[in-house]
Chain A
Amino acid sequence: MNFEVVNRELCVGSIRIIGVSSSSLLMVGDANSIQLTSLFDTPAESLIIGPFVPLTPGG
């Protein structure tokens, strides 16, 4: 595959962001390869209603 890029003038006034989180990227520049993954899990069994039992220790 051939990919041809022509970079012309790029000028941004101002950027205002609350948060950049969980394997995300804010980049002012060029990159060759970007690979980002993020997993967020709230399974049904993660809602525990009952006594406050500590999680498995260690780790």
Chain B
Amino acid sequence: MYRTSKVDSLKVDSSALSSVIQIGDSTSITAFTRAIAVQRQKELFYSNEGNFNSFPIFSFQLPIEPIVEPITIGSTSLHPLIQVGSIDISGVTSAAVLHIGSSCQFQGESRTLHIRQLEHTNGNSENNVE
């Protein structure tokens, strides 16, 4: 059922935060990442801040239905090769996967909370910030 993958050249500049570059077949990959992204108007960094437990997005249960329907898959490979000349990627990040080869099961989950903190001045009220 699974075909052979052939990639002549691969170039990846960076890979970070629970990402995977897999060359070759795999059975099961599970990738998970969670992040609190804080943007402040001033350059200010407190080393010990941010608690995943205090934000509901990180504990929210995903409504994923279990796969129960029986599916019979029949496949015929007339040409057992997937060929790619070149792959050029700038970045692979946050539980993302670059996979060359076949896999049985892949599961990925990413949760990001974005917070912006702006300085309060007279000309910077909530009405003129969209």
Q: How many residues of B contact A (CB 8 A)?
A: 84
CB 8 Å contact bits of A35-59 with B (1 = contact, 0 = none): 1111111100011111111111111
Q: How many residues of A contact B (CB 8 A)?
A: 56
Which residues does chain B contribute within 8 Å of A23, judged by CB atoms?
31, 33, 94-96, 108-110
Known: A17-B90, A56-B50. A7 touches B107 (CB 8 A): no
Which residues does chain B contribute within 8 Å of A35, judged by CB atoms?
64, 106-108
Give A18 to B53 CA distance when docked, in angstroms.
33
Q: Taking chain A's interface residues, is the majority helix, strand, or loop, or is none over half, making it mixed?
A: strand
Interface residues of A in 3-39 (CB under 8 A from B): 3-39
Which residues does chain B contribute within 8 Å of A9, judged by CB atoms?
78-79, 81
Give A26 to B125 CA distance when docked, in angstroms.
43
3 cross-chain pairs, A with B, having the tightest CB-CB distances, nearest first = A59-B51, A23-B108, A23-B110
Please give 17 more A-B residue pairs, beta carbons under 8 A apart, in addition to A31-B103, A35-B108, A47-B118.
A2-B74, A3-B74, A5-B76, A21-B91, A22-B112, A23-B110, A27-B103, A28-B82, A36-B107, A37-B109, A39-B62, A39-B110, A48-B116, A52-B117, A55-B36, A55-B38, A57-B49
